Amino acid sequence: MKITSINSFIKHLPLKKPYTISYNTYDTVSIVFTKITLANGIVGIGTASPAEDVVGESPEQTLINLESDTVQSWVGADIRSFLSIITDIRKTFAHLPGTQAALDIALHDAFGKWAGISVARFYGIKRNALPTSVTIGIKSVTDTVAEAVEYYANGFSIFKLKTGLSVEEDIEKIVLLHEKFKENIQLRVDANQGYTLADLIKFMEATRSIPLELIEQPLKVGKEMELVSLSEEQRNKLVADESLHQETDAIRFAQTNRPFGIYNIKLMKCGGITGAREIGQIARAAGINLFWGCNDESIISITAALHTAYSFENTKYLDLDGSFDLAEDLVKGGFEIKNGLLMINEQPGLGYDWI
């Protein structure tokens, strides 16, 4: 079945409310949408919302790449060779994960629809459904607690706090949330490279009695090996995020004296489903647990991440709440929340449709 057209466009979508991390504040997100149409009318849909400060590629650059003659040269290719096409895409657009992700996801969706099989089923479902955490940006102590109360009332019980501006205030927030909710919630922390090693040690010591699940990317990229001075027990709670883009990073951090015990895989860092599976396979071989994260993203790429996550038995954590933040989206379906768990719908491809 031939590909007859590849079309892309960008949408600037508002967030329901602004949020702050250690180095920026966001109130909108730019998302690139890609449509791959087959000769029988099937349309595969992909998206990209790369974070330029993390991967060096902006959504605007992604759109330029997707509108290039190079991409149009894949019109006429057979969708049955989609994995081969993705290999060519990754070579052509090396180090451009947003461009790779949009095409990778759209090709997976088109192939699955053509073959009549979900992407998760194509790779093999290895994991039961898991709950996702919801993210609370950096804000005052009072506003942090108020947002946690709101999320808890809506059925969420895993909170991920953005931290990294003030270690003392970070400790205060964690202590207050634990005192308020006790064992009814689980707490995660994402420092977004905001700590020094001394800050991290101070934070970990002050919260030792609180059962924190994990701490994401505490130190700046390039400072990872400072973490090996911590105990193995401490490092097993640390998550590689901004430091982990591709399989070479996954291999490097899987060596002896590992700085991280958990890998955060984001499709917008590694170029889509194919890159994510490469990192996941390395982690599986090394006995490293997987944490699946996201940016502010459409249901499209969140669903793609979820299908990929459930194809790995070492998937342990989900932080796939990026589409919850959008005031609007262009598709519906893909996944739903049942009893607090993220469930894929098992329809062919990735199971979403245009609104």
Nearest to 291 by CA among 220, 227, 233, 240: 240
- Check residue 318 and give its pLDDT: 98
8-state DSSP, 210: S
- Check residue 10 and give its pLDDT: 98
- Check residue 149 and give its pLDDT: 97
Which domains does the chain carry? 3-116 (3.30.390.10), 121-354 (3.20.20.120)
- Cα four-point dihedral sign 300, 331, 133, 123: negative
Residues of the chain falling short of pLDDT 70: none
Token pair listed for 296: 């502010």
pTM here is: 0.96
Tell me the per-residue pLDDT of 204-256, one tens digit each, with 9 for 90 and over.
Answer: 999 999 999 999 999 999 999 999 999 999 999 999 999 999 999 999 999 98
> What gap in Å lies between CA 98 and CA 7, rounded to an integer?
15
- Check residue 256 and give its pLDDT: 87
- Check residue 25 and give its pLDDT: 84
Provide the strand spans (E) within the chain: 3-21, 24-38, 43-48, 134-136, 158-162, 186-190, 212-216, 238-240, 262-265, 289-292, 315-318, 331-333, 335-338, 341-344, 352-354
Nearest to 160 by CA among 195, 185, 196: 185
